[in-house]
Amino acid sequence: MKIAILGGTGDEGLGLAIRFALAGNEVIIGSRAADRAETAAQAVRDKVASARVSGTTNDVAVEQAELVMLSVPFAGLRATVSALAPKLAGKIVVSLVVPLQFGKGGPHAELVPEGSAAELTQQLAPEARVVGAFQNLSAHELLEPDHDLGCDVLVCADDRDARRSVMTLAETIKGVRAIDAGPLAYSRYVEDMTALLISLNRRYKTQTGIRISGIG
C-alpha cells in the first residue's frame, strides 16, 4: 500500500514510517518543506535498508497515496486538513492527532468542541474516510524497528471497511494487536488516554501503552 505520512518528520510519524516501510509498504513522508521530508526519508532508510520511501510536500504526498496518515500537532490540524480536503476525498485518512496541553499539573487533554481530533478531521474533510488510530503508541518504541510494542491499537471509524483496513495495517507492527473500537465518536477516549499514558511514562520512567483485557 502507498501510505502518506503528513508530519512524518516528527518522532511519531517517523516511527510509523519506519514500521510501515519495514512491512513492505511504500511510504511517502509529507511536510510543509520538501527538503525536511527528504531528510526524514533518509532517516527511514538508515533504519530500514530495504525501505521504499520518499519525502515531498504534503500536497504531493496526498496525491500519490492511497492512505493518508495525519501526524501533525493538533494546533496545525485545522489548517492542514482544510487546505487538503478536496484531495482527501475518498481516501482513508488516519488521524493520530492528540489534543494535548502541557500545564503545571502535567499533560492534559484539550477539550475539542467537535468531540475529538478525528471527528474534527471528518468535519473538515467530509468526503474522506476518516479513522482514528495509533494515538497511544510510544514514538520511542516505534523508532526501533526490532522493539516489540506489546500493546493494542484501538481503531475507530464510521466507515467499517476503512476501520478493517487500518486494523490490518496496525497488526503489521511487531507486537501490536488491533481492537475494533467502533464509530469515530469513540476516538475521544483513545485520544484523551494519551495524556494519562504520558504522565505514567514520567512517573514510572517507562514507555506505556494500552492493552484491553478480556479479548482473545
Q: Which residues pair with 92 in a beta bridge?
A: 67, 129
Contact, 131 vs 121, CB < 8 A? no
Query: Are 130 and 122 spatial neighbours (Cβ–Cβ below 8 Å)?
Result: yes
Find the shortest distance in angstroms from Cβ 159 to a second copy.
15
Which residue is listed with cell 492493552? 211
Q: Does position 193 bind a second copy by CB under 8 A?
A: yes
Binding segment for a second copy among 19-27, 37-45, 86-94, 201-209 (CB under 8 A)? 201-209
Identify the CA nearest to 3 among candidates 141, 170, 122. Answer: 170
Instruction: Work out which of 150, 161, 162, 169 binds a second copy, going by CB under 8 A.
Output: 150
Of 88, 112, 83, nearest to 162 by C-alpha is 88
Least separation in angstroms between residue 99's CB and a second copy is 13
Minimum Å gap between C-beta 148 and a second copy is 10
DSSP 95: E
Are 5 and 27 a contacting pair, CB within 8 Å? yes
Q: Which of 22, 151, 153, 167 binds a second copy (CB under 8 A)?
A: 151
Q: Kindly state the smallest distance separating residue 135's Cβ from a second copy, in Å.
A: 13
State yes or no: residue 154 binds a second copy (CB under 8 A): yes
- Judged by CB under 8 A, the chain residues 52 through 111 that form the site for a second copy are 105-106, 108-109
A 10 A CB-CB count for 79 gives: 11
CB environment 41-60: b (16+ within 10 A), e (fewer): bebbeebbeebebbbbbbeb
Site string for a second copy, 162-191 (x = CB under 8 A): -----------------xxxxx-xx-xxx-
Cβ closer to a second copy: 37 or 195?
Answer: 195
Please report whether residue 122 would count as binding a second copy according to CB under 8 A. no
Binding site for a second copy (CB under 8 A): 105-106, 108-109, 138, 149-151, 154, 179-183, 185-186, 188-190, 192-193, 195-197, 199-201, 203-204, 206-215
